[in-house]
Chain A
Amino acid sequence: DTEVTQTPKHLVMGMTNKKSLKCEQHMGHRAMYWYKQKAKKPPELMFVYSYEKLSINESVPSRFSPECPNSSLLNLHLHALQPEDSALYLCASSPIGGWTEAFFGQGTRLTVV
């Protein structure tokens, strides 16, 4: 099973809302990632977790708060977002680190109104 599952698939939220994106994998991967992708652009790295610890934060605004409660689950908590945060949010995982094959989920399409 090489599947990374993201929920929800679509999310519309107001600028004062709090919501969370969820990502799950059961491949035993110990590295998990959040990427943001705007239309017609390549994915941009936001966060990297290694062995459930945050190892990279690419200067992401604090209104995005990641959490890795266990080795299979990755969350992204959203609060007070701006319309320009509307994008496709992709979760990925890889075996031991960034140098082996990365598997991506289907993404959450986020719209901030």
Chain B
Amino acid sequence: KQEVTQIPAALSVPEGENLVLNCSFTDSAIYNLQWFRQDPGKGLTSLLLIQSSQREQTSGRLNASLDKSSGRSTLYIAASQPGDSATYLCAVSPTMTTDSWGKLQFGAGTQVVVTP
């Protein structure tokens, strides 16, 4: 059974510092991995999607890497800002089988606070 872990559970950094968020998964048979942002009491905003064949994906100040063989992904946020304060979740999609279709498996998230 796939298990997705995010460490640390919480992180506080001063503004301007780079953020490094980790996501690990136990079963390397994934189709893709997606990073989301969630503000308190709100829905999920998709940040980046990495296909299993890719090593990294970039969008603005965000860069996500994927090492499928070791079961790890890292989200880097450059030059953090107070507006980056949120919970960040990673989720993996399993490879294509009838039983697993559509089942995103989420990590518990990393709660980030960026202080001015």
Interface residue ranges, A against B (CB under 8 Å): 4, 6, 31, 33, 41-43, 45, 48, 50, 55-56, 88, 90, 92, 94, 97-107, 109
Contact check, B109 vs A55: say whether CB atoms are below 8 A apart.
Answer: no
B89 at the interface (CB under 8 A from A): yes
Q: Are B103 and A45 in contact (CB under 8 A)?
A: yes
Which of B89, B96, B108 makes the CB contact (< 8 A) with A99?
B96
Of the A-B pairs whose beta carbons lie under 8 Å apart in the complex, a sample of 29, sorted by A's number, is A41-B108, A42-B89, A42-B109, A43-B104, A45-B104, A48-B101, A56-B101, A56-B102, A90-B43, A90-B44, A94-B102, A98-B93, A98-B94, A98-B100, A98-B102, A98-B103, A99-B31, A99-B32, A100-B32, A100-B49, A101-B34, A101-B46, A102-B91, A102-B104, A103-B46, A104-B43, A104-B44, A104-B46, A109-B41
B102 and A48 contacting across the interface, CB-CB below 8 Å: yes
State the B residues within 8 Å of A (CB).
31-32, 34, 36, 41-46, 49, 89, 91, 93-94, 96, 100-104, 106-109
Instruction: Specify the chain B residue showing the minimal Cβ separation from A107.
Output: B43
Would A101 and B49 count as touching, CB distance under 8 A? yes
Chain B hits for A92, CB < 8 A: 44
